[in-house]
Amino acid sequence: KLPLESIQVVLEELRKNGNLEWLDKNKTSFLIMWRRPEEWGRLIYQWVSKNGLTNSVFTLYELTSGDDTENEEFHGLDETMLLRALQALQQEHKAEIITLDDGRGVKFF
């Protein structure tokens, strides 16, 4: 039951911290993210490194639904957020999103 001005302040702080993204120009619809894509990317890359899986290729399904990631925080992550996390890793030259015959995948470096 916050006043509209207070709600706008909270939303703006979330946006500044990278945890909110406006989905329309009128700022009536938004996406709130528990973790920023860069944070998800860091968790995924830590798992890859810890398990000696650099220079390996994974499908997006394997990362979020495979048996090997069952105990990881990113297991079950929404595909849209997964792609954003992988794009962040791609910008850091730690991964490359690739197109496979049956969908998308990623190669880690």
- Beta strands 95-100; 57-59: pairing state: unpaired
Is the pLDDT score of 1 beyond 90? no
Q: What is the pLDDT of residue 86?
A: 98
Provide the total of helices (H) and of strands (E) in the chain, helices listed first: 4, 5
Quick one: what percent of the chain has pLDDT higher than 90? 94
Q: Do residues 60 and 103 touch, judged by C-beta distance below 8 A?
A: yes
Helix (H) or strand (E) holding 30: strand 30-32
Write the CATH number of the domain with boundaries 37-108: 1.10.10.10
What would the pLDDT profile of 65-100 be if each residue is shown by its tens digit? 999 999 999 999 999 999 999 999 999 999 999 998
Q: What is the pLDDT of residue 61?
A: 94
Please state the domain extents for the chain: 1-34, 37-108
SS3 104: strand
Q: What is the pLDDT of residue 81?
A: 94
